[in-house]
A and B are shown apart, each in its own frame.
Chain A
Amino acid sequence: MSVLQALDLRRRSASSVPPLPAGKPAAVAVAKLIDVSKCIGCKACQTACLEWNQLDQPIGYTDGSYDNPTDLTTASWTVMRFTEYEHGDDLEWLIRKDGCMHCDDPGCLKACPAPGAIVQYTNGIVDFISDNCIGCGYCVKGCPFNIPRISQTTSKAYKCTLCSDRVVVGQAPACAKACPTQAIYFGTKEEMIAHAGKRIVDLKSRGYQNAGLYNPAGVNGTHVMYVLQHADKPSLYAGLPDDPHISPLVGIWKGVMKPLSLAAIAFAGAFGFLHYVTKGPNTVTEHDEEKAAELAGTDRAGSDKA
């Protein structure tokens, strides 16, 4: 894959990556900034995503909301989630573009058992490498945002690539390019945080006291960030986690359990070996056989000898 050759790896699932060659600078961290307050819910980004990635989302069923499709799928790597937020006399329509957050500390990658099925480039983008994916669904358990989807036909996991194939040649992701209100920005993470700062000042001046940036520390920040009108309550936005972190269960499963288990198995094997070498086998003696015959009352040793 050409993207893999042009982008250096920072992490690789179930394996390690060599350090960058001396003198080669690590890529600058990139980020996508989604300004929820500017989104009009037109879904141009969804369409652009399908088009650029050559995906085909089959026609499904509506659940009565504007969410279409109603959830992320193996073809729809991004979905607009609509929430009607009523408070006092006010009704706000909160429209969040859902999709992979490109966590700086990605739980999917931590959970994945297949070497190289999930990689993180030095620019921060988390990518699934289908060739190496075995379809086990561990990434689903590792992800704090419920993002990866496993295909029933190919048995591979799929999610937003942050258009790593566009970013590598200096292009912004397809969704950012398509958005008519410029609610989606793309650039270095530093620039995006600075830009979000300006947007938040603006929102606060217009009465959104709690406007803020969603760049959750629990996953060491994300490479997809939101400007939220109500950053004090992210869960208002169709269940965006208030404080996402990799589940401690995944931490145990993929952490202490692995070396401890192998150590226990090695110890059991070594114990057996040492026991045999020091104590020797437990053998039945001639005496035991004679006693047995005595008890059974039929010593047929003579006839057996032949």
Chain B
Amino acid sequence: MTEHTKPVSRYTTAARINHWITAVSLILLALSGMALFHPSLYFLTYLFGGGQITRAIHPWIGVVLGISFLGLFIRFFALNFWNRDDTIWMKNLGAVINNKEEGLPELGKYNAGQKLVFWGQSILILLLLGSGFVLWDTYFASYTTIDQKRWSAVIHALCAIGAILIWIVHVYAAIWVKGTLRAMTQGSVTGGWAWKHHRKWFRQEVGKP
């Protein structure tokens, strides 16, 4: 297939670096966290050099994620507000899943699914940070009661599973919708991709609203 237009710039280099730091820390957090969550996954502690190190390093990676995700949040939140077209898109999710998105409203930079991923991860990471600090006994053990720590353990594990599920949807979408990944590797997409998936945004980019 031929590209008929110049590549359409989608992410700056800074945004991409910001995204990859977030991605790597989220994966490391999921691996180190899951190692402690389920005995059958305890072997994952070997990836980090043993149980003690896994336990010690996980919250620090959490701090990296917290700062890094804040960067993404500031960059993207304005583009993620919900609008009427998003509701229509969600009602036609079945068509989208069947690769039949033609009849749907033209979309801005993000579709409803991407917006849900954005807000879902924003809320979950905030909760993970909050509950994570309560569980971080090395430094903060004395600030909360044992019952608060118990609540935090449940909330932290629930939110972690939620974040991992959203992550799976997010990554799968990037694999399924061809031409998406290069937005994060090269920073640009083809005109055809932009026209097909985010036409309203594409119109703005080429100055033809």
Interface residues of A (CB under 8 A from B): 14-15, 113-115, 132, 134-138, 140-141, 146, 150, 152, 155, 247, 249-250, 252-253, 257-258, 261-262, 264-265, 268-269, 272, 275-276, 279-286, 288-293, 295-301, 304-305
Which residues from chain B contact A140 at a C-beta distance below 8 Å?
Answer: 137, 146, 149
Closest chain B CB from A246 CB (angstroms) = 10
| B64-72, B79-87, B188-196 - interface stretch | B188-196
**A289-B5 contact in complex given A113-B39, A150-B137, A276-B176, C-beta closer than 8 Å:** yes
Interfacial residues of chain B within 16-54, with CB under 8 A of chain A in the complex: 36-40, 42, 45, 50-52, 54
In-complex Cβ contact of A284 among B55, B150, B168, B178 (8 A):
B178
Which residues from chain B contact A114 at a C-beta distance below 8 Å?
Answer: 42, 51
Which residues from chain B contact A282 at a C-beta distance below 8 Å?
Answer: 99, 101, 176-178
Interface size on B, residues (CB 8 A): 58
Which residues from chain B contact A305 at a C-beta distance below 8 Å?
Answer: 2
In-complex Cβ contact of B4 among A258, A265, A289 (8 A):
A289
- Say yes or no: A286 contacts B2, CB within 8 Å: yes
Residue B158 lies at the interface, judged by CB distance under 8 Å to chain A: yes
Which residues from chain B contact A261 at a C-beta distance below 8 Å?
Answer: 37-38, 157, 161
Q: Is the interface of A mostly helix, strand, loop or mixed?
A: helix
In-complex Cβ contact of B158 among A257, A265, A284 (8 A):
A257
In-complex Cβ contact of A135 among B52, B158, B175 (8 A):
B52
In-complex Cβ contact of A295 among B6, B97, B190, B206 (8 A):
B206
- Say yes or no: B55 contacts A298, CB within 8 Å: no
**A265-B99 contact in complex given A249-B154, A284-B179, A284-B196, C-beta closer than 8 Å:** no
Residue B208 lies at the interface, judged by CB distance under 8 Å to chain A: yes
In-complex Cβ contact of A134 among B54, B141, B175 (8 A):
B54
Closest chain B CB from A28 CB (angstroms) = 30
- Say yes or no: B153 contacts A138, CB within 8 Å: yes
Residue in chain A with minimal CB distance to B137: A137
**A296-B165 contact in complex given A279-B98, A304-B2, C-beta closer than 8 Å:** no
- Say yes or no: B153 contacts A141, CB within 8 Å: yes
Which residues from chain B contact A288 at a C-beta distance below 8 Å?
Answer: 192-193, 195-196
**15 intermolecular pairs with C-beta atoms under 8 Å apart:** A113-B39, A140-B137, A150-B141, A155-B55, A249-B153, A253-B153, A265-B168, A272-B172, A279-B98, A280-B99, A286-B2, A292-B4, A292-B195, A298-B5, A304-B4
Interfacial residues of chain B within 180-209, with CB under 8 A of chain A in the complex: 190-196, 202-203, 206, 208
8 residue pairs, one from A and one from B, having the closest CB atoms: A292-B191, A293-B4, A134-B51, A289-B192, A288-B192, A292-B195, A14-B39, A137-B137
Closest chain B CB from A252 CB (angstroms) = 6
- Say yes or no: B36 contacts A295, CB within 8 Å: no
CA distance A269 to B50 in the complex (A): 27
- Say yes or no: B149 contacts A134, CB within 8 Å: no
Closest chain B CB from A294 CB (angstroms) = 8
- Say yes or no: A292 contacts B38, CB within 8 Å: no
**A141-B141 contact in complex given A282-B99, A283-B178, A296-B191, C-beta closer than 8 Å:** no
CA distance A95 to B106 in the complex (A): 76
**A247-B208 contact in complex given A261-B37, A290-B4, C-beta closer than 8 Å:** no
Residue in chain A with minimal CB distance to B208: A295
Residue in chain B with minimal CB distance to A114: B51
In-complex Cβ contact of A141 among B51, B52, B146, B175 (8 A):
B146
CA distance A299 to B4 in the complex (A): 5
- Say yes or no: A284 contacts B42, CB within 8 Å: no
Which residues from chain B contact A299 at a C-beta distance below 8 Å?
Answer: 4-5
Which of B52, B141, B153, B161 has the most C-beta atoms of chain A within 10 angstroms of its own C-beta? B153
- Say yes or no: A295 contacts B195, CB within 8 Å: yes
Beyond the given pairs A275-B97, A276-B172, A295-B206, 15 more chain A to chain B contacts, judged by CB atoms under 8 angstroms and listed by A's residue number, are A134-B36, A136-B36, A138-B36, A146-B146, A150-B141, A250-B150, A261-B37, A261-B38, A265-B168, A272-B175, A282-B99, A293-B5, A297-B206, A298-B6, A301-B4
